[in-house]
Structures are given as structure tokens and as C-alpha cells.
């Protein structure tokens, strides 16, 4: 049964309630053995993944020296999300999510090994890096929807808000540590070493998935997705205004506000004149702000539309200021603010969607979450790379911030003008 107009889902979770109110609530999800294993494995693997992102961006820039090429390689990494993430959501509603994740993360580990050997034996060609970036994107396209939809199976509906907040802490902790270690490892060791470290980190995630007690998973009793499942997911979104508004805001921010793999290394190299360690520090500042936001959301609680729009607007304004800044310490502070506001936005979106979506549609709706957060990156990254080539990275980042702010404003006006139940047209 879909959510009613009050926003309560079939799981009995209303967006904004029940939300964790104290920092101690964070531990409730970790007391579930399966979730604790899953969380730890993803923390270790995620750290390696963020380290690889630093190494990949830096090696592409070193070989090509081109913002457009960096944008192209980043586009190819996220293009498979655009191509495959929606059918992957159907798969997540039809087949065991644990099996999907084991397969996808094994592919990602193999991709890292190949990257390591290419970097170790000589300078890899751009086409090789582009092909491997695409391969990683295919893995992520099938992994992410299953990973998002797996959370309620690990902890049960009552603990979903705490688990989502805890996942945010894990994600942003690994990002902060990974970016710092990635910058240092590229400078002190080599890009090849970083790729091999990432490959090794996947063993923790795979071991955790294999160690899960499948008998303790809270499997949905809903019927599996059948023929026409994708259309059913779209119909649900189209006829649920609260979900449509959340996904619309995510589309705007995902396309224009979340292009850090292209923006950060170019700002570091061309504007702030810092090397790989400085780039890693910028992204660690971003991760630190994200970590503060993740913990803060547990303490504050709640998940409102107002918080979602406000945090998205702050992120957009921060982008504009980053484009203006020429002072490295100022840019570090702005990156921290970007991480904080961006994490408040994405965590709020995630929690609201988890609360609004019934079990039988969760994989499909969360695949839309992944599509609009990361699958829009091919467009954003390509546009940002081309804009940086033509007008400079500062002007491009300022423009993207302005477009993000304008898009959220238009969306908010349209949402406010939508007829409400019981209100005359």
C-alpha cells in the first residue's frame, strides 16, 4: 500500500518521525550484528575507494593536462549509472541484494587491480583509464541500489533512520580519511600503490557480506517485482507528490552541485596552485564537514522539506564562493561547509525516501535516488570540464552554483503552487 497524504509509508515510518534524537541512538543500529559487520566492511572499502578517486583524478590530469579530458573520464565513470541503475533497481527488488553486492564489489576490486598493474608498468593511456572508469561505473550501477535498499533488511523498519544516519557517518568518515590518505599516498608512494590498496580494501567488504547471518535478515514479505516493474516504480513516483518533490531537488543538486571529482582537482591545480597533497587536504576538509553533518543529524533528528531546500541552497552559495576564492585556507573552510551542507541535503533526501517508500518498491525508488545523485554526473562533469576549458574553472564553478540555486528556487515555487488536498484550485 503506497503512502497516504500524510506521508506515512507502508513501513509505518513517516518522514521526520521517528528520527534519532540523541547521539547514543547511533549505537542502536550497530548493536545489530549484521549491520555492524556490513558497516565496518563498507568503512574500510570506502576508504580505499576514495583514495583511488584522488589517484585517478591526479593521474588523468598528469597525463592529459586537460580539464575536458578529466571531465570526459569522470563522465564515463558515472555514465553506467545513467544507463543501468534503473534496471538494477528492479533486480534489487527481484533477487537477493547480498548476492548482487558480492558480484558488483568483486568486479570493482578487479578493476582496481588492473589499474594498479597499468600504473606500475608504465604510463597508462587515457583510453585505458576511460575504459576502466566505465567498468567501475557498471559495478557501481548495480551495487548502489542494492546497497541502499539492503538497509531495512539489516536492521528492520524501526531502525531505518538510525541506520541511514550511521551510514552517513561511515560514508563521510571514509571520504575524509580516504582523501587525506590518497593525497599523501600519491605524493609519497605512487598512484599504483593507491590502486592496489583499494583492491585490498574490498576484501573487508566482501568478507563482511559473506559473514552475514542470512537467517537474521528482515526480508520483505511483498511479492517480488514482475513484468512492468519499472513502470510501476515510475507510476508510484509520479502519483506521490512528496516523493516527486524530493527527487526533483535531488536532480538539480546532483547535476549541478555535486561535481567534485572534476571541480576539486582543477581548483587545486589551476587556482590555488597546490599539488596532490593539497588536493587531498581540500577533499579531506569536505569529508570533515560531511562527518560533522552526519553526527549532527543524529543529534538533531528530523527530516523536513525545509531542511532539504535550505541545505541545498547553502551548498549552491558555497560553490559560488569557492569560485571566487583565491586563498587556500579560505577554500579549505568553504570545502568543509560544502561537505556539511551537501551531506545534510543528501541524508535528508535519503531518509525521506526510505520513509515514504513501501518495501516492494524500495529498490526501484532508491535506484532513482542513485540515478539523480550520481547518474546525472555525466552531464554535469562534461559541462563543467568544457566550461573550465572555455572560461576557466572559477567561472564554471560560479555558474554551476548559480544554476543550482536558481533550479531549487524554481522547484520550490512550483511545489508551493501545487494544489493541496482540501484546498481549492
Cell for 90? Answer: 528492479
Domain 23-216+229-417: which CATH number of 1.20.1250.20, 3.40.30.10, 1.10.3720.10, 3.40.50.300? 1.20.1250.20
At residue 200, the pLDDT reads 94
* pTM confidence score: 0.68
At residue 3, the pLDDT reads 34
* Residue 250, Ramachandran bin (φ over 0: left; ψ between -120 and 50: alpha; else beta): alpha
User: Domain spans of the chain?
Assistant: 23-216+229-417
**pLDDT per position in the chain (425 positions), as tens?**
333 332 333 333 333 334 444 545 556 777 888 888 999 998 999 899 888 888 888 888 888 878 778 878 877 887 887 788 778 878 887 888 889 999 999 999 999 999 999 988 877 888 888 899 899 889 988 988 888 778 888 887 777 777 777 777 787 678 777 877 887 787 788 888 999 999 999 999 999 999 988 887 776 555 544 555 667 777 877 777 788 888 888 889 888 888 776 788 888 888 888 876 777 788 778 878 877 887 776 666 656 778 888 999 999 999 999 999 999 999 999 999 998 998 888 888 877 887 777 767 767 777 777 777 766 766 787 788 888 888 988 999 999 999 999 999 998 888 777 665 444 43
Amino acid at each position: 500500500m503506497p503512502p497516504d497524504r500524510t506521508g506515512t509509508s507502508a513501513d509505518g515510518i513517516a518522514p521526520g518521525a521517528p528520527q534519532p534524537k540523541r547521539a547514543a541512538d547511533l549505537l542502536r543500529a550497530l548493536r545489530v550484528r549484521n549491520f555492524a559487520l556490513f558497516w565496518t566492511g563498507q568503512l574500510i572499502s570506502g576508504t580505499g575507494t576514495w583514495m583511488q578517486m584522488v589517484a585517478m583524478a591526479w593521474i588523468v590530469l598528469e597525463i592529459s593536462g586537460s580539464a575536458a579530458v578529466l571531465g570526459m573520464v569522470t563522465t564515463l565513470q558515472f555514465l553506467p549509472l545513467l544507463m543501468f541503475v534503473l534496471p538494477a533497481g528492479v533486480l534489487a527488488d527481484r533477487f537477493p541484494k547480498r548476492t548482487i553486492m558480492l558480484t558488483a564489489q568483486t568486479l570493482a576490486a578487479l578493476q582496481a587491480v588492473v589499474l594498479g598493474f597499468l600504473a606500475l608498468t608504465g604510463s597508462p593511456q587515457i583510453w585505458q583509464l576511460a575504459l576502466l572508469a566505465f567498468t567501475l561505473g557498471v559495478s557501481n550501477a548495480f551495487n548502489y541500489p542494492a546497497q541502499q535498499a539492503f538497509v531495512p533488511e539489516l536492521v528492520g523498519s524501526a531502525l531505518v533512520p538510525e541506520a541511514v544516519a550511521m551510514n552517513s557517518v561511515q560514508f563521510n568518515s571514509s571520504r575524509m580519511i580516504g582523501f587525506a590518505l590518497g593525497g599523501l599516498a600519491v605524493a609519497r608512494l605512487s598512484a599504483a600503490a593507491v590502486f592496489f590498496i583499494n583492491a585490498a580494501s574490498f576484501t573487508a567488504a566482501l568478507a563482511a557480506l559473506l559473514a552475514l547471518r542470512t537467517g537474521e535478515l528482515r526480508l520483505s514479505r511483498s511479492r517480488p517485482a514482475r513484468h512492468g516493474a519499472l513502470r510501476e516504480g515510475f507510476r508510484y513516483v509520479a502519483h506521490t507528490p512528496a516523493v516527486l518533490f524530493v527527487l526533483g531537488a535531488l536532480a538539480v543538486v546532483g547535476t549541478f552541485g555535486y561535481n567534485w571529482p572534476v571541480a576539486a582537482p582543477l581548483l587545486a591545480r589551476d587556482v590555488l596552485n597546490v599539488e596532490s597533497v593539497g588536493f587531498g587536504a581540500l577533499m579531506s576538509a569536505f569529508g570533515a564537514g560531511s562527518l560533522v553533518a552526519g553526527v549532527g543529524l543524529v543529534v538533531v533528528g528530523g527530516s523536513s522539506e525545509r531542511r532539504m531546500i535550505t541545505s541545498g541552497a547553502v551548498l549552491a552559495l558555497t560553490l559560488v564562493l569557492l569560485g571566487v576564492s583565491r586563498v587556500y585556507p579560505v577554500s579549505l573552510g568553504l570545502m568543509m561547509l560544502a561537505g556539511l551542507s551537501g551531506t545534510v541535503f543528501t541524508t535528508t533526501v535519503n531518509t525521506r525516501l526510505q520513509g515514504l517508500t513501501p518495501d516492494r518498491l524500495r529498490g526501484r525508488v532508491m535506484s532513482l535516488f542513485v540515478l539523480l545523485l550520481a547518474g546525472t554526473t555525466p552531464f554535469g562533469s562534461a559541462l563543467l570540464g568544457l566550461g573550465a576549458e572555455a572560461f576557466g574553472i572559477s567561472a564554471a564553478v560560479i555558474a554551476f552554483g548559480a544554476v543550482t540555486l536558481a533550479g531549487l528556487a524554481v522547484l520550490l515555487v512550483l511545489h508551493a503552487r501545487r494544489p493541496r488536498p482540501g484546498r481549492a484550485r
